[in-house]
Chain A
Amino acid sequence: AQSVTQLGSHVSVSEGALVLLRCNYSSSVPPYLFWYVQYPNQGLQLLLKYTSAATLVKGINGFEAEFKKSETSFHLTKPSAHMSDAAEYFCAVSEGGTASKLTFGTGTRLQVTL
């Protein structure tokens, strides 16, 4: 069975500081991994995804994530936080293929302070 663990339900960074949101996964097959973002009162939207191509994946709004099989991790980073990055971030895993359900982590709320 697949699962995702997000370390830290709340992360606070200063504007301009590095953003690091942690995600570890468990999967019985090579996984597909995703980061979704949810801005206040909005639906989830895809930030980036890993589907067994390049291990360093670049997404929207300057975010990127690196797939590390040896660490079973897929941490999300952004070099310089912006106030508009304040949102909830969800890591998710699927077993890939044509389509399959995503299993989500419990989310990390990112706060950006001046």
Chain B
Amino acid sequence: GAGVSQSPSNKVTEKGKDVELRCDPISGHTALYWYRQSLGQGLEFLIYFQGNSAPDKSGLPSDRFSAERTGGSVSTLTIQRTQQEDSAVYLCASSLYRQGAGGELFFGEGSRLTVL
């Protein structure tokens, strides 16, 4: 389809292992966002990419979290040395970068991470 695609949809890992989550945004969308959804916590902003500008990393909870976006399209969120509190659904979204878009985001279905 033409929506935001995320993989894997489910990931179970052991504490201390590294994980990578992938996001493929809608074609032509230059803005890409990562959010984390924990039970009862709502959506927590993690990081935002816009074109070739420096990403807004203000939401990353620790230096174990990093993300990159290659070629202005696909993004990978990496969590190193996972902890149990990292268990959550990681949502990716993309949007058009244009005046008046005002942040209308299109979301993927998320990657559910479980750290044992």
Residue A9 at the chain B interface, CB threshold 8 Å: yes
Residue of B nearest to A33 (CB): B102
CA A42 – CA B56 in complex, angstroms?
26
Interface residues of B in 6-60 (CB under 8 A from A): 31, 33, 35, 40-43, 45, 48, 50, 56, 59
Q: Is the interface of A mostly helix, strand, loop or mixed?
A: loop
Q: Are A100 and B103 in contact (CB under 8 A)?
A: yes
> Which residues of B have CB within 8 Å of A90?
42-43
A49, B109: Cβ atoms closer than 8 Å: no
Q: How many A-B residue pairs have CB under 8 A?
A: 75
Question: What sequence of 0s and 1s flags, for each residue 72-102 of chain B, a beta carbon within 8 Å of any chain A beta carbon?
Answer: 0000000000000000000101011111111
* A46 lies within 8 A of B48 (CB): no
- B114 CB to nearest chain A CB (Å): 15
Q: A99–B31 contact, CB under 8 A?
A: yes
- A98, B50: Cα distance in complex, Å: 10
- Contact check, B104 vs A34: say whether CB atoms are below 8 A apart: yes
Contacts of B109 in A (CB 8 A): 41-43
B65 at interface (Cβ–Cβ under 8 A)?
no
- Cross-chain contact A51 with B100 (CB below 8 angstroms): yes
- A93-114 contacts to B, CB under 8 A, are 94, 96-107
Q: Which chain A residues in 56-80 approach chain B with CB under 8 Å?
A: none
Binding site for A on B (CB under 8 A): 4, 31, 33, 35, 40-43, 45, 48, 50, 56, 59, 91, 93, 95-110
Give the 4 A-B residue pairs with the shortest CB-CB distance, closest first: A94-B103, A106-B42, A32-B102, A104-B43
A36-B107, A94-B102 given. 10 additional CB < 8 A pairs?
A34-B104, A90-B43, A92-B43, A96-B103, A97-B99, A101-B45, A102-B105, A104-B35, A106-B40, A107-B43
